[in-house]
Amino acid sequence: MSHKRIPKRKAAIAAGGVVALGVAAVLLPNANASQDGASNGAAAPRTLKAADASDLASRLRSMLGDAFAGSYYDAAGRQLVVNVISGNGDNAVVQAKRAGATVREVDNSLAELQAGARTLKADATIPGTAWAVDPKTNKIVVTADSTVTGAKWDKVESTVQSLGSGMATLKKSAGTFKTFVSGGDAVFAQAGGGTVRCSLGFNVTASDGSPAFLTAGHCGVAAAQWSDSQTGRPIATVDQATFPGEGDFSLVKYDDPNTQAAGEVNVGGGQTVRIAKAAEATVGAQVFRMGSTTGLHDGTVTGLDATVNFQSETDPNGVDTVTGLIQTDVCAEPGDSGGSLFTQDGSAIGLTSGGSGDCTTGGETFFQPVTTALQATGATLGDAGAGAGDQAGGGDALGGGTAAPSGAVGQSGAGDQPGAGDQPGAGDQPGAGDQSGAAAEDGSRLTETH
């Protein structure tokens, strides 16, 4: 069994002796942090866990109406910061403070920021660009990757300038925005004369009660049938897939209705984190990503409702625009597509879509919100199939491969658990994922497929 070096931003796992369900306490030290819980009449901000801050933000958005201008989680102070429109009167400020939030008065309303995003969509939908609202600056942050040069850069820059310096900012990314559909040991499919690889996100129960899993939509449109080993027979079939457009998600049903599909994320070394629920992302909150190529990494949510314009692989002059994504500074690499994004309390947050950079230099990565995918597909989180709980869950590549994936946390990799539903071949393919990027077989020419 191979052991690779630990890449930058790798989330730490204690070596050896950590029982599966106890890993959360090691990986996620604030999982059981308490709330101070000020009374409703007190002005002092409450100390909150990230999940509770997300819930409070949702309540305040409904309570404050047009006065609400976004929010973010201050991880250092463990407080929710809520933006309130300046000059909107004291009532909104008082309500937010009584609810336990830290209040900040800002100039740009959500409606104005959304109007700015529509201008960008109309005038700057260029491959290699992305934008999202940053509540910390109360602006739209527009990012252009390394392919946006010359006239394309001028177009993006002039559009951002037309919005005004108080509304939008422009930054350059050193990498290239792409979907992470190739490389690593994960779920496999045959398409375009090659092998496509992605990562399992979360096991779910489909609306008809059958066991299934969520992964990236660009994986689901690449191929209809998926296997748990590179040369094995298909064990799951795509039921629904969305990409490009309003999301990047697919629901894939296991062909065997008795497949064991536990509600867990396998983080390597025989360790799992139990997934208790789906939750909305909160800007500023710490998140963990598990993928079959790079293993476990952590980072921070930096934007919501992000729009990303991927270069189309099927049309050299085309663009695949995806909306409604979560933006983070968590790294990812080819093969991590569809992998799990979750929080310290075991909340399912997102599915890896794409981004720029890698886990050596860093970069931006975008995720499909799990809540939106569940609502669209009618699926629910939770164990499905007979004997659920005996199998490693989302993120473990269905047991594909006995070797650690490239850079996997210095331990045995995701996939050391028995395969999904104990299907033949699950987890017994030697060396799967023992290639860094596996360019010879991973279908890398299908960097984006639809």
In DSSP notation, 359-396 reads: TTTB--EEEEEHHHHHHHHT-EES-BSTTTTSS--BTS
What residues contact residue 434 under an 8 Å CB cut-off, 6+ apart? 2, 185, 401, 403, 404, 405, 406
Residue 436 among the catalytic residues: no
Please identify which of the residues 52, 134, 228, 248 carries the catalytic annotation.
248
Q: What is the arrangement of strands in the sheet containing 102-106, beginning at the earlier edge strand?
A: 68-74, 79-85, 102-106
CB 52, CB 35: distance < 8 Å: yes
Task: Say yes or no to pLDDT of 36 above 90.
Answer: no
pLDDT in tens, 241-286: 999 999 999 999 999 998 877 788 888 777 889 998 999 999 999 9
Q: Is the dihedral of CA 175, 121, 301, 221 positive or negative?
A: negative
State the chain's mean pLDDT as an integer.
Answer: 77
CB 134, CB 283: distance < 8 Å: yes
Query: Tell me, what's the pLDDT at 432?
Result: 31
Residue 412 among the catalytic residues: no
Q: Are strands 347-355 and 365-369 parallel, antiparallel or unpaired?
A: antiparallel
Please identify which of the residues 71, 182, 337, 406 carries the catalytic annotation.
337
Alpha-carbon span 50 to 39, nearest angstrom: 19
Task: Say yes or no to pLDDT of 33 above 80.
Answer: no
Query: Tell me, what's the pLDDT at 196?
Result: 87
Alpha-carbon span 427 to 421, nearest angstrom: 11
Domains annotated on the chain, with CATH = 50-106 (3.30.300), 110-172 (3.30.300.50), 174-450 (2.40.10.10)
More confident residue, 31 or 158: 158
Task: Say yes or no to pLDDT of 347 above 70.
Answer: yes
More confident residue, 409 or 104: 104
What is the pLDDT confidence band of residue 88, given thresholds at 50, 70 and 90?
A: low
- pTM for the model: 0.75
- Residues 92-110: what's their mean pLDDT? 92
DSSP 335: T
Residue 107 among the catalytic residues: no
Alpha-carbon span 409 to 12, nearest angstrom: 7
Which of 84-93, 231-240, 246-255, 268-277: highest mean pLDDT?
A: 246-255
Please identify which of the residues 134, 218, 292, 297 carries the catalytic annotation.
218
pLDDT in tens, 4-21: 333 444 444 333 322 322
Task: Say yes or no to pLDDT of 428 above 50.
Answer: no
